Homo-oligomer: A and B are copies of this chain.
Amino acid sequence: MTPLDAEHRHDQPTAAMAVADALAETILTEMAPGMSLPSEAELATHHDVSRLTIREAVKLLEGRGLLALARGRKAVVRQPDGAAFADFLTSVIRYDPKGLFDLIEVRLSLEVQSATLAAKRATRAGIAAIEGELQGMRDMLGAPGQEMSYEQEHGFHTHDVGFHEAVALASGNRVLGFLFEAMGRPLREGFFISRRGHEHRGHTLADTVIAHQRILDCIKDGNGRAAGEAMRMHLKDTERDIRVALSQLALRPSGRP
């Protein structure tokens, strides 16, 4: 008996669901990402159901992120990534915007750990990747006091996110990497609300570069504790800016009733 699986299963399992579970088991135990499943017709005869049932089972697994489907091609086993969880987190925030702060809170904890581990384990290549992103941020920064174009600001933000992902990668913890990947989109979606507030933020983009530089230095030194602390301070500042921006936004008449 596996009561663990009963959570979101139904009383009377449907044929499609049975096939989906069987396929998932096969995929996880016998197949690797990139491999192709047999054709729908073959699966249908093999599992003794109609092709339609196979299609529904396969669609279920596609929703779970286990398979990639495309017209005219057999279903391909997917390298698992955080996309499914990203969808989930997005829906959580959409249901309740307060969840954004929960997400930020969790991210803070994970980022601190990420920086700490990166300081202990980062390879030369990993550090180079982090440095590359930081340099990218600098390149987007115009002359001091000069207004940035939208492209520049967007590019800066991209490299900012890239920096954090590079740190996660350097930590050598794959689950951390997945979580970051999964949290990226919901966070961006949440942050987008506060984009208007960026102009009034307490910290300039130059400050951000300095903060990142400090984190990188700690990682290079192999000082995990300091790296974690630097990351924590940086994120605390960011969080404060977001809170200010959101509260300003809340005071204005919203576009939606």
A12 — nearest CB in chain B belongs to which residue? B71
- B89 in contact with A175 (CB, 8 Å): yes
Nearest-CB distance from A134 to chain B (Å)? 22
Structural contact, A103 and B4, CB atoms closer than 8 A: no
- Residue A8 CB within 8 A of the other chain: yes
Task: Check B176–A106 contact: CB distance below 8 A.
Answer: yes
Q: Please, which residue of chain B has its CB at the minimum distance from the CB of A108?
A: B113
Q: Shortest beta-carbon distance, A85 to chain B, in Å?
A: 4
Is A243 an interface residue, CB under 8 A from the partner? no
Chain B residue contacts of A87, Cβ below 8 A: 64, 84
Copies in the complex: 2
Q: Which of A86-131 contact B (CB under 8 A)?
A: 87-92, 94-96, 99, 102-103, 105-106, 109-110, 112-113, 117
Q: Which of B12, B16, B84, B106 contacts A173 (CB 8 A)?
A: B106
Total contacting residues, chain A, CB less than 8 A: 63
Separation of A69 and B11 alpha carbons in the complex (Å): 11
Instruction: Say yes or no: A102-B71 contact (C-beta < 8 A), given A29-B94, A91-B66.
Output: no
- Cross-chain contact B8 with A65 (CB below 8 angstroms): yes
Residues on B with C-beta less than 8 A from A14 are 71
CB <8 Å contact, B92 and A178: yes
A67 to chain B: closest residue by CB: B63
Q: Which of B32, B84, B102, B188 contacts A84 (CB 8 A)?
A: B84
B60 touches A62 (CB 8 A): yes
CA distance A106 to B177 in the complex (A): 11
Stretch in A51-59, A199-207, A244-252 with 4+ CB within 8 Å of B = A51-59
